[in-house]
Structure 1
Amino acid sequence: MTTISNELSPSLNDAGQEHKITKADLIKTSLNIGSLGMEFSWTYYKQMNIAFCLMVAKLLKKIYRDDEVGYRAALSRHMAFFNITVQFAPFVGGIALSMEERIARGEADPESVNEVKAALMGPLSGVGDAIFLSTLRVLAAGIGISLCQSGSLLGPIAFLLIYNIPGFWLRVWGIQKGYHLGVNFLEQAIKSGLMEKVMLAIGIIGAMVIGSMTVGMFWATMPIPIGGGEDPATLQSILDSIMPGLLGLGAFGLYYWLLSKKVSPTILILGTMALGVIGAYFGFLA
C-alpha cells in the first residue's frame, strides 16, 4: 500500500497544482500584449481599461476555469476606468489577480478589487511619473544625445537601454510582488485595521496628486480688465490673489459634477473646444 500511495501522490499533487497561478504565469502576464500595450488602446473615456483587462484576461480564465459567469463578471469588472504609469500596471495587476482568487472563493466583495485599483492609481502614478518620465527619461536622453553629438552610434541604443531596463525589471518584479502582497498581506491588513489606514494615506496622497494636476494641466486665464487706469487689474489676478489655481480647480469641479450627471465625455471635449475658441475670440479667455 505504501508503494501504491507513493506512486499516486505525485499525480494527485499535480492535479491540485494544475490551476494555481505560477511564477511563470505572472512573468508572462507582465510581458504580454496588454501589459506592454497599456497606451496603445488609450481612450479619453476610460483610458487604459482595455489593455489592463487584456493583460489579466488569461489568468482570470484560469481562476474562473469552472465558472463562465464568474469569468465574464471579472472581465466586466476590469473594464472599469484605469490609468497609471505603465511600468506600475503589472504590480496593480498582481494585486488584482490575488484578490480575484479570493472573490472566486467567495471570501471578498467583487467591488473591492476596483476600489483597491482606484486607490493605488493616483499615488503610484505620482511616484512613477516622477521616476520614469521626469527623471529617468531625461537622464537617458541626456546621455544618448551626448553620445550622438560625439558621433557614436551608441546614442539611441544607450537611451533605449537606460530607460527600458529598469522599466522591464519593474514589470516582472512588480507583478510577482503585487500578487504575493495580495495573497499574504491584504487579508491580515484588513483584519488588523492597517488597510483602512493605508487607504486613508493613499487617498490623501491621491488627492494631492489630483490637486497638483488641476493646476499643472490647466492652461487658461481670464484677462478681463477690472476698473480703469493705465494698468487695470484683471479678473485673473484677482482670482490668483484669492487662491492660485482657483480657475483650474473650478473647472475640475464643474467637469466632475457633469460626469456625475452622466454627461458624455465626448460632449465635454467638444464643448471645451468650442468654449476655448469662443473665449479666445471675444477675449474673456487666453
Structure 2
Amino acid sequence: MRTSNNQITKKDLMSIYIRSLSLEYSWNYERQQHMGYCFAMLPAIRRIYEKKEAQIEAARRHMEFFNTTPYVSTAIMGISTAMEESNADNTDFDTSSINSVKVALMGPLAGIGDSMFWGTLRVIATGIGTSLALNGNILGPILFWLIYNIPAYLVRYWCLKFGYGFGTSFLNRIEESGLMPKLTYGAAVIGLMVIGAMIPNMINIQIAGSLGTGESATAVQAILDGIMPSLLPLLMTLGVYGLLQKKVKVSWVLVILTSLGIIGALFGMFVV
C-alpha cells in the first residue's frame, strides 16, 4: 500500500496538464502520440511508485501506440493515473488493462474531440475572426485566438480532473464488486475493434486494371471488394504485423512499403 507521500496531489495533476500541451511535439508515424503521453504521465508515475524499476515499467506501458484529439486526451491521462494508483495498491491488478482502456477510449474521444474542436469551434472562431480581419480590424486575429483557445484549455483541464475523479471512484467500485476481470476483457475486445476499424479508414490500396473487354470488363478492384471489402488493407496490415513479429526493424518495414508503392505505381499496378 502507498503512503501519504505517494498520493496524487493537485500539483501533480497540474504538472500532467502542462505536460499534456506537448502531446504532439514528438508525433511520429510508428506510435504517433506515445512519447508525449508518456512524458505527461511521468509526474504521476514518479509520485505513485517509489522503486525505480516500477517507474520504468510504468513508463514503458505508456510508450505504446496512442492517438486521439489532444484537447480531450487528458481525460484518458486522468483515468490512466487512477489505474496506476490501483495497480500500486493491488498486487493482483492486471496491468494490461491500463493500455486496453486507453485503446478503447482514444477512438470514441477522438470522434467527439474532432467534431467539437476541428469541426465546430474552429469554424466559428475563423468566421468571426476573418470577418473582422477583412475589414482591417485588429480584433480579428485576437478574437480568433481567444474564442478557440480559451475553451480548448479549459476543456483540457476539466477532462483531466474528470478522468482522474471518475477513474478513482469507478475502479474502487468495480474492485469491491469483483468485476475487474470482466472490465479488462471488455476493454481488450473494444480496443481490438477500434484498431480493426482503423484499418480501412487509414489504409487505402486499390488495384488497377480490369478483366474482360468492352462493356463486359470488370475491374479487378471490384472483384476483390466483392470477395471482401478492404481486403488489401487487411492483408497489408497482417503482413506488416508478421514482419514486426519476426523482429524486422520498423525502418526496414517502411523501406519495403515505400518500394512496393513506387514499383506498383510505376508499372500501373495500383490506382494512384
TM-score by length of 1: 0.79
Question: Which residue of the other structure, out of 180, 183, 201, is the alignment partner of 2:165?
Answer: 180
Task: Check whether the contact 1:240–1:246 (CA below 8 A) recurs between aligned residues.
Answer: yes
Question: Which residue of the other structure, out of 61, 75, 99, is the alignment partner of 1:77?
Answer: 61
> Aligned ranges for residues 26-45 of structure 1 at < 5 Å?
26-32=13-19, 35-45=20-30
Which of structures 1 and 2 has the bigger CA Rg? 1
Mapped pair 1:48 → 2:25 = no
Task: Report the equivalent of 2:212.
Answer: 227
Partner SS for 1:31: helix
Task: Report the equivalent of 1:127.
Answer: 112
Q: Which deviations, in whole Å up to 9, do the C-alpha atoms of 1:98-126 show, x marking residues without a partner? A: 22222222342333322322322222223
Q: Which deviations, in whole Å up to 9, do the C-alpha atoms of 1:217-266 show, x marking residues without a partner? A: 33432121211126732212323344543333333343334334433332
Question: Which residue of the other structure, out of 235, 258, 261, is the alignment partner of 1:250?
Answer: 235
RMSD, matched Cα: 2.9
Distance 2:125 2:245 in 1: 41
Distance 1:195 1:132 in 2: 35
Give the unaligned 5+ runs of structure 1.
1-15
Report how far residue 198 of structure 1 moved: 9.0
Task: Check whether the contact 2:86–2:171 (CA below 8 A) recurs between aligned residues.
Answer: no
Partner SS for 1:175: helix
Give the unaligned 5+ runs of structure 2.
none
Distance 2:90 2:75 in 1: 23
Counterpart of 1:86, as a letter, is P
Deviates more, 1:19-28 or 1:266-275: 19-28
Q: Which deviations, in whole Å up to 9, do the C-alpha atoms of 1:194-236 show, x marking residues without a partner? A: 883696388448725752x433333432121211126732212
Task: Check whether the contact 2:210–2:217 (CA below 8 A) recurs between aligned residues.
Answer: yes
Distance 1:197 1:70 in 2: 24
Partner SS for 2:152: helix
Aligned residues: 267
Counterpart of 1:40, as a letter, is Y
Deviates more, 1:222-231 or 1:46-55: 222-231
Task: Report the equivalent of 2:203.
Answer: 218
TM-score by length of 2: 0.83
Counterpart of 1:71, as a letter, is Q
Deviates more, 1:92-101 or 1:161-170: 161-170
